[in-house]
Amino acid sequence: MEEKVRQNGFLYRMTRLLTKIYSAFVFKRHVIRNELKGKKGPFVIIANHQCAMDFTNLCATVKQPLYFVISDSFYRTMPVKGIMTKLGVIPKRQFETGVVDMRRMKAVVEQGKNLVIYPAGLMCEDGVSTPIPEATYRFLKWLGADIYMAKSYGSYFAMPKWAKGTRPGRVDIDIYKVFDKEELKAVATDELVRRLDEALAFDAYREQETRLVKHKLGDNIEGLENVLYYCPNCKREFTIKVESESDIVCTECGYSEKCDEYGFLHKTSECGEEIRYVSDWSRLIQDRLSEKIANEGIDITERCDIYTIDDEKKKYVKRGEGCVTLKDDSVTLVGTHDGEAVEFTVSAVHYPSVPFSPGKYIELQHGDCSYRCYLSDGRLAQKYVNAIKIMHKLNMEKVKKPTTV
């Protein structure tokens, strides 16, 4: 049976009007270029993912109707789920693409319509792009349409994942063609991956050096300690705190830095070396953990409250308690769910990351159910995620490493 994806034109136009207002006031949207002007579909737009509301800038900029692919859990917890369906939104599990999802996305293209995909699946927490699985790029090639890149600059600072609320300030968007559909048919996989990786890659802090855009509350880094949990001076974990909104301090050795209005850090202590970018501090944490995993392995267990989606209430509700264990190359959840025992293990190496909130929870997908695990010590959420990213990267390097005979 042919898959049909429909969109209510009037409702989409009203939604686009709202996004234009939102992106103008919150993101102060500035268009660098828009190579989609006057273009007819079908085309596929890929976009980097710096914040939860990136889609508003894209929707406001592109006049042609767009069909957005979003996470299934986000779709199911939205109070306006019915409206989203009428907008032609396509829900799918993060980091998983089933046959039904593939058919629906292919149907959009085959119907001459325009698809939007955020290949990273998650917005970044440290200003750096998340690696994209090679299978995602092969899927884009299979869609058989022109591919455009919609690159956002600055939206990370307007709505950091580790902070509360929004921080109005200029966000730039640059839309340009990456592949013509005819070129896409012939391109080798290595070249496909190289060019799309290059298009999607970003470091928000290095980009900010050339932009120097001020955002409201740009020096307030409350919540950043949940991402930068490791002291680069004394090498201890979970000793980092934010004081007086803009000062990040190690409670053990006194190492400290202060954030300026542009989001850059400046050392204020006598000890240690200055780390100007949050992205560099985050890389340092991941490099240290990567070395530890390679040499010693990893074994972390933490108690958690287990939440899953209540489709009637359209939100996550507590269903039980348990423990999350990250050991070797897998993650295991053991506990209770609605009074019954639940236990499953997922391979960490197959996922570039997992959905999470710094200082709060991680999510594990098992079958059709997404288990949101609120950790007793929320600070561990980032360490779990860092370890999963590292194990995925190490596995990819192992797979690509040439063998000798």
* Cis ω for the linkage preceding 352 (within 30 of 0): no
CB atoms within 10 A of CB 201: 14
Stretch 164-168: mean pLDDT, rounded? Answer: 94
DSSP characters over 318-381 = EEEEEEEEEETTEEEEEEEETTEEEEEEEESTT-S---EETTTEEEEEETTEEEEEEESSTTHH
Q: Where are the domains of the chain?
A: 9-211, 224-290, 297-400
Model confidence over 7-39: pLDDT tens digits? 999 999 999 999 999 999 999 999 999 999 999
Residue 201, SS3 per DSSP:
coil
CA separation for the pair 237, 228 (Å, rounded)? 9
- Looking at residue 315, what is its pLDDT? 93
- Looking at residue 393, what is its pLDDT? 83
Whether 9-211 shares its CATH topology with 297-400 is answered: no
If one compares 403 and 91, the residue with the highest pLDDT of the two is 91
CATH pick for 297-400 out of 2.30.29.30, 3.40.50.10490, 2.60.40.1180, 3.30.1330.10: 2.30.29.30
What pTM was estimated for this model as a whole?
0.92
Q: How confident is the model at residue 131 (pLDDT cuts 50, 70, 90)?
A: confident
Stretch 44-65: mean pLDDT, rounded? Answer: 96
With 70 as the cut, is the pLDDT of residue 403 above it?
A: no
Q: How many residues does the chain have?
A: 405
With 80 as the cut, is the pLDDT of residue 248 above it?
A: yes
- Looking at residue 383, what is its pLDDT? 97
- Looking at residue 3, what is its pLDDT? 66
- Looking at residue 401, what is its pLDDT? 56
Per CATH, the number for 9-211 is 3.40.1130.10
